[in-house]
Structure 1
């Protein structure tokens, strides 16, 4: 066995010890883990973007999407098992079909709470972020889906990514705003497809990969993350292009009464649900490349609705105002 195999087997003992803690921990730790899921993050982002602060909501959404893309690329490159895949003694309180390292939940929690803490600039916000990340990491170990090293890697990558965002965000944004709208849309496509290309390159060393005999307890394994990458890259296209066009059109204000904000959220969700239902009906069946390409466009359409279409509807029906006058 190589070094990483030895490390993983050494980490089984602390996982088994953690899983030996009182059984009542299972339910609350599953709840904690939900806070790192795509569904929860999407709900939070929709509330922030449509009802609280559009600029911060878009910023948070783009950072989360880019971090998720980085996580998928790292998983494809490292191709590591999860604890319950290699040892039947580990209870799988949750099951995951993708490679294990780095922990996506730990990385997402680090980036998400880090952005919130940096925006708040309050000591208690930093403490809350640290506690949230630690609890998220603990939940993933307890549930049997990650090694301690998976969690540590997720936190480290999240911190490095967060530091890069805080360092380069302003100059990159200034450079972006100096480009013409057509160039911005073209660059949106390039960024989106860049994630796909990076993932393909990361997966090349594992071409022809098959499930090792040592991972025989894995159950269902679908490690290549095609659907997740389609969602991330398509979401990036729709969010970046939509945000660029909306900014060009004057943006929108999230101010208003509680009723107005609630109606905005309901209209936004209803529109997304309708688009998703229609797209599902017209999605063709066929080769993997075709279905994932269509999924990419579907997610791009959903993100475009969320970032651009819904705000334009809010303004049109009087539920929101332009954030600034539109340039002649």
Structure 2
């Protein structure tokens, strides 16, 4: 009870200086930690920056999302009472409170991104992004301070562990393509379809399966290059984001939202990102060069 009271006091102290400018800053900062932002950024990174790092970034983020959901269900700690604090963007904080998904995923995502140039030389900037995302959740009345600290600790441990695993796998002759991705494409769908998983597990497993299988097929049969002129990059984003949105909307309207169908929908979207867009763009570029 004392810790909870202290948590409310910290939230109210942060909110005592609220104004419209801080509200908009908090909304923007928290958006950088939402799944919507990641759903746009990860495909952009895969299509336009580095596909090998992009597939790892996607898998790392998805695993963090799954682990956060697991711990939230395990602890089942409720969020701050809206009658006692001022709440902004309540829909960005559904479910349980501990550990903070925004704090954990920000630590993992931006920390992993910081391993690659040009972000490798900007640790302070990335740290400020993680801090802004995390503190915005307290300011918005959606998390207690202990939720944020728990998210940081879990995210930090997960990041250190995943970096160690990545370095070990990358030193093997077969690497990720030969040792990890094929197994993720087989084990995940089997485990999800044979168990009564929650929608979150079906979403994560479907997206992972689609990403892994699509990437393996793309590497063997397409092998597209993320590099290209600005017009080429803009076309990828227009086709990829637009086509993905239409696919997602069409499947959501036409398919039931039960476990196997949720898995299928996210698997299709994973394949679209990792294989569909690269294949279409490569074919268009090849045909354009022949005309």
Instruction: Select between 88-97 and 27-36 the one with higher mean Cα deviation.
Output: 88-97
Shift in Å, 1:61: 1.2
Corresponding position of 1:249: 221
Distance 1:195 1:130 in 2: 35
CA contact (8 A) 1:234 1:299 kept: yes
Q: Deviations over 1:113-139 (max 9, x none)?
A: 111222238775111122111111110
CA contact (8 A) 1:72 1:199 kept: no
Shift in Å, 1:306: 0.7
C-alpha change, 1:84 and 1:186, in structure 2 (3 Å) is same
Distance 1:163 1:260 in 2: 36
Q: Identify unmatched segments of 5+ residues in structure 2.
A: none
Corresponding position of 1:22: 18
Distance 1:280 1:99 in 2: 25
Corresponding position of 1:237: 209
Shift in Å, 1:259: 0.6
Distance 2:247 2:46 in 1: 19
* Alignment partner of 2:281 out of 314, 319, 325: 314
C-alpha change, 1:155 and 1:319, in structure 2 (3 Å) is farther
Shift in Å, 1:158: 0.8
C-alpha change, 1:186 and 1:114, in structure 2 (3 Å) is closer
Shift in Å, 1:194: 5.1
Shift in Å, 1:16: 0.9
TM-score when normalising by structure 2 = 0.87
* Alignment partner of 1:89 out of 84, 90, 115: 84
State yes or no: 1:159 paired with 2:156. yes
Instruction: Select between 227-236 and 104-113 the one with higher mean Cα deviation.
Output: 227-236
Corresponding position of 1:57: 54
Distance 1:300 1:154 in 2: 27
CA contact (8 A) 1:106 1:137 kept: yes
State yes or no: 1:276 paired with 2:248. yes
Q: Identify unmatched segments of 5+ residues in structure 1.
A: 201-225, 286-290, 321-328
* Alignment partner of 2:4 out of 1, 4, 8: 8
Distance 1:178 1:137 in 2: 36
CA contact (8 A) 1:94 1:144 kept: no
CA contact (8 A) 2:184 2:209 kept: no
C-alpha change, 1:21 and 1:77, in structure 2 (3 Å) is same
State yes or no: 1:177 paired with 2:144. no
Q: Deviations over 1:274-319 (max 9, x none)?
A: 322332343137xxxxx13211111110111111111111111117
Corresponding position of 1:35: 32
CA contact (8 A) 2:222 2:279 kept: no
Distance 1:187 1:64 in 2: 15
Q: Deviations over 1:149-175 (max 9, x none)?
A: 100111111111110111011333545
